[in-house]
Amino acid sequence: MKIGSVVKTNQKGQIVIPRDFRDELGIDSTVSLNLILRGGGIYIYPIEEVVSSLEREDSYLKILEKTRGSWGKEDWKNLRRKRRRIELAASKRRKRKW
């Protein structure tokens, strides 16, 4: 087993990440950390960016707006009416055939 640095927890279960580790990973007071339980250990990863659910929804809407394609400029009210007429006409044609 490779041992990098041995630290002990305080009474609250807190640890201090050694300075050389923090420096190498660029961890300071502004960096959020992701802790993952895996196997019998805890893995700690620095997170570059945290995206809230509101920001995620906004970015998703922006992507949808950019990629809306040929349907983007459609007049949805008129399209629904037109579709109902087409579907009713097709239904009447099928009914007549019976």
Domain boundaries along the sequence of the chain: 1-50, 53-97
| Fold (topology level) of 1-50 | Pemi-like Protein 1; Chain: D (2.10.260)
The band of 12, judged by pLDDT with boundaries at 50, 70 and 90, is very high
Residue 23 has which token pair? 């420096």
Q: What is the pLDDT of residue 74?
A: 67
Q: Between vectors from CA 61 to CA 56 and to CA 64, what angle results, nearest 5°?
A: 125
Q: What is the pLDDT of residue 36?
A: 92
Verdict on whether the full-model pTM lies above 0.85: no
Q: Which helix (H) or strand (E) holds 87?
A: helix 76-97
For residues 4-22, give the mean pLDDT. 90
